Structure 1
Amino acid sequence: MNLIHVMTAALTLASASPVSGANDGQIIGKNQITLTGDRLTPEALWAMGRIGTFAVSPDAQKIVYTVSYYSVQQNKSHTVLYLMDADGANPTLLTTTADNESEPAFTPDGQKITFLSGKSGSSQIWEMALDGTSRRQVSFCHKDVEGYKFSPDGKKVIIVHSVDTYTSIEKKYDDLPLSSGMVITDLNYKHWDHYVTTIPHIFVADVQDGRTGDGIDLLNGEPFECPMLPFGGSEQFNWSPDSRYIVYTSRKKTGRDYAISTDSDIYRYDTATGQTENLCKPSDYKEPEIDPSRSMEHQAINHLDRDCNVGYDTNPAYSPDGKYVAWLSMARNGYESDRTRLCVLDLKTGAKTYVTEAFQSGVDGFCWAADSRSFYFTGVWQARSMIHSTNLKGEVRPLTTGDFDYGAGLALCGKNLIVTRHSISAPDDIYSLSFKKKKNAEVRQLTRENQYFQERLKMGEVKERWVATTDGKKELCWVVYPPHFDPSKKYPVLLFCEGGPQSPVSQFWSYRWNLQIMAANDYIVIAPNRRGLPGFGMEWLEEISGDYSGQCMQDYLSAIDDICKEPYADKDRLGCVGASFGGYSVYYLAGHHDKRFKCFISHDGIFNTQQQYYETEEMWFPNWDLGAGPWRKGISADPDNAEKVDDQQKVNPFTTSPHLYVDRWDTPILCIHGEKDYRILSSQGQSAFSAAVMRGIPAELLLYPDENHWVLKPQNGILWQRTFFRWLDRWLKK
Structure 2
Amino acid sequence: MRKYTVLAVALMLALTSFAQRAPEKKIDKSLITNRMQNFGKEVMGPERLWELGRVSAEGLTPDGRQLIYGVSKYSFDENKSEKNLFVVPVKGGDFFQFTAGDGGESVLQVKDNGEVIYSYKNQLWLKNIKGGEAKQLTNGEGGLENVKFSPNGKHILFSKAVLVNMNHSVDKYADLSKSNVYIYDDLDYRHWDSFNDGRFNHPFVATYDQGKIGEAIDLLAGEPFYSPQAPFGGIEDFAWSPDGNSVLYVCKKKSGKEYAKSTDTDIYRYDLISRRTTNLTEGMDGYDTHPLYKADGRVLAWLSMKTDGYEADKNDIILWDAIADIKLNLTAHWDGTVNTFTWSKDNRKIYFIAPIRGTSQLFEIKIPSNLKNKAQPKIEQISEGQFDITGIVRETEEGLVVTSTTMTRATEVYLYNLKSKKLNPITKVNDEVYAQIAPTKVEGRFTKASDGQDLFSWVIYPPDFDPTKKYPTLLYCQGGPQAATTQSYSFRWNFQLMASQGYIVIAPNRRGMPGWGVKWNEDISKDWGGQSIRDYLSAIDDLAKESYIDRDRIGAVGASYGGYSVFMLAGVHEGRFRSFISHCGLFDMTSWYGTTEELFFANHDLGGPYWNKENEKTYTEFNPINHVAKWDTPILIFQGGKDYRVPIGQGLEAFQAARLKDIKSRLVYLPEENHWVLSGHNAQVWHREFFGWLKETL
Q: Same fold (TM over 0.5)?
A: yes
Determine if contact 1:141/1:213 at 8 Å carries over to the other structure: no
1:525-536 equivalences in 2 (<5 Å): 525-536=505-516
1:478 Cα deviation (Å)? 0.3
Opposite residue 591 of structure 1, the aligned amino acid is G
Residue 569 of structure 1: how far off its partner (Å):
0.4
Instruction: Report the AA paired with residue 158 of structure 2.
Output: I
Which SS does the other structure have where 1:428 is aligned? strand
- Listed as ranges, the matches of 1:438-587 within 5 Å are 441-587=421-567
- Choose which of 15, 30, 39 in structure 1 pairs with 2:43: 39
**CA deviation after TM superposition for structure 1 residue 255, in Å:** 0.8
Alignment partner, residue 186 of structure 1:
186
1:545 Cα shift? 0.5
Deviations 1:136-173 (A, max 9, x none): 12223222322201111212111121112328667421
Task: Output the CA distance in 1 between the equivalents of 2:637 and 2:535.
Answer: 23
CA distance in 1, matches of 2:95, 2:200: 37
- Name the CA distance, whole Å, in 2 between partners of 1:409 and 1:259: 32
Correspondence list, 1:615-694, <5 A: 615-635=595-615, 651-694=617-660
**Alpha-carbon distance between aligned partners in 1 of 2:388 and 2:167, rounded to the nearest angstrom:** 40
Shift of 1:592: 0.5
1:415 Cα offset (Å): 5.3
Deviation larger for 128-137 or 519-528: 128-137
Show the counterpart of 1:337. Answer: 312
1:702 aligns with 2:668: yes
Letter of the 1:657 counterpart: N
Question: Which position in structure 1 is the counterpart of 2:117?
Answer: 114
258-267 or 210-219, which deviates more: 210-219
CA displacement, residues 31-69 of structure 1 (integer Å, 9 cap, x when unaligned): xxxx99520000111000001242111121221111111
Corresponding residue number in structure 2 for 1:265: 266
Aligned 8 A contact 1:634 1:652 in 2: no
- Post-superposition Cα deviations, 1:335-375, rounded to whole Å, max 9, x if no partner, equal 00001011111111111111123432211111111222311
In structure 2, runs of 5+ residues without a counterpart are: 3-38, 369-376
Q: Report the Cα offset of residue 376 of structure 1.
A: 0.5
- Check whether the contact 1:66–1:82 (CA below 8 A) recurs between aligned residues: yes
Return the letter of the residue paired with 2:304: S
The code of the aligned residue for 2:83 comes to T
Q: d(CA) in 1 for partners of 2:686 and 2:510? A: 26
Does residue 1:397 correspond to 2:380, yes or no?
A: yes
TM-score by length of 2: 0.91
Residues 523-572 of structure 1 deviation map (CA, whole Å, 9 limit, x = unaligned): 00000000111111111111110011100000000010000000000111
CA distance in 1, matches of 2:598, 2:342: 29
The question of whether the paired residues in 2 share the 8 Å contact of 1:247 and 1:317 is answered with no
Pairing of 1:247-396 with structure 2 (within 5 A):
247-281=248-282, 308-393=283-368, 394-396=377-379
- Aligned-partner SS, 1:352: strand
Aligned to 1:207, what secondary structure does the other structure show?
Answer: strand
Label 1:168 to 1:661 Cα distance change in 2 as closer, same or farther (>3 A).
Answer: farther
For the 8 Å contact 1:168–1:185, the answer to whether it is kept is no
Alpha carbons 1:420, 1:429 under 8 Å: kept:
yes
Deviates more, 1:353-362 or 1:722-731: 353-362
The count of corresponding residues between Structure 1 and Structure 2 is: 652
Distance 1:256 1:168, change over 3 A: farther
Q: 2:222 is aligned with what amino acid?
A: G
CA distance in 1, matches of 2:448, 2:51: 40
RMSD: 1.7
Once the two structures are TM-superposed, the CA of residue 654 in structure 1 deviates from its matched residue by 4.1
Matches within 5 A, 1:159-198: 159-166=158-165, 171-197=171-197, 198=199
Q: Deviations over 1:243-292 (max 9, x none)?
A: 111111111111111100000011111112211111111xxxxxxxxxxx
Q: Which amino acid aligns with 1:136?
A: K
In the alignment, the residues of structure 2 paired with residue 239 and residue 704 of structure 1 have an alpha-carbon distance, to the nearest angstrom, of 41
| 3-state SS in 1 of match to 2:402 | strand
Q: Aligned partner of 1:547: which letter?
A: D
Which segment is superposed worse, 269-278 or 566-575?
A: 269-278
Whose helix proportion is higher, 1 or 2?
Answer: 2
| 5+ residue gaps, structure 1 | 3-34, 282-307, 636-644, 646-650
Query: Does the 8 A contact of 2:114 with 2:130 survive in 1?
Result: no
Structure 1 counterpart of 2:175, which letter? Answer: D
C-alpha separation between the residues in 2 aligned to 1:653 and 1:520? 39
Q: Is the 8 A contact 1:167 1:223 kept in 2?
A: no
Report the CA distance between 1:496 and its aligned residue. Answer: 0.1
- Deviations along 1:596-636, whole A, 9 cap, x unmatched? 1101000010000111101100000110011111112222x
Determine the C-alpha separation between the residues in 1 that align with 2:415 and 2:579.
Answer: 44
The answer to whether structure 1 residue 57 and structure 2 residue 61 are counterparts is yes
Contact 1:549 1:653 survives alignment (8 Å): no
In structure 2, what is the Cα distance between the partners aligned to 1:90 and 1:385?
29
Match of residue 424, structure 1, among 407, 410, 417 = 407
Report the Cα distance in structure 1 between the residues aligned to 2:623 and 2:166, rounded to whole angstroms: 33
The 8 Å contact of residues 366 and 410 in structure 1, kept in 2 or not, is answered as: no
Q: Residues of 1 paired with 2:188 and 2:622: CA distance?
A: 28
Q: Is the 8 A contact 1:65 1:82 kept in 2?
A: yes
Report the AA paired with residue 178 of structure 1. Answer: K
CA contact (8 A) 1:140 1:213 kept: no
Aligned pair in 2 of structure 1 residues 675, 511: CA closer, same or farther (>3 Å)?
same
Given residue 633 of structure 1, which amino acid in structure 2 is its aligned partner?
A: K
Are 1:728 and 2:694 an aligned pair? yes
The structural deviation recorded for 1:673 is 0.9
Output the CA distance in 1 between the equivalents of 2:68 and 2:380: 29
Matched letter for residue 366 of structure 1? F
Q: Is the 8 A contact 2:57 2:403 kept in 1?
A: no
Identity over aligned residues, as a percent? Answer: 40
- For residues 661 and 143 of structure 2, what CA distance do their matches in structure 1 show? 51
1:15-39 CA deviation, whole Å, 9 max, x = no partner? xxxxxxxxxxxxxxxxxxxx99520
217-226 vs 578-587, which deviates more?
A: 217-226
Corresponding residue number in structure 2 for 1:99: 103
Match of 2:29 in 1: none
Give the AA of the match of 1:363: V
2:456 and 2:290 map into 1 onto residues whose CA distance is: 31
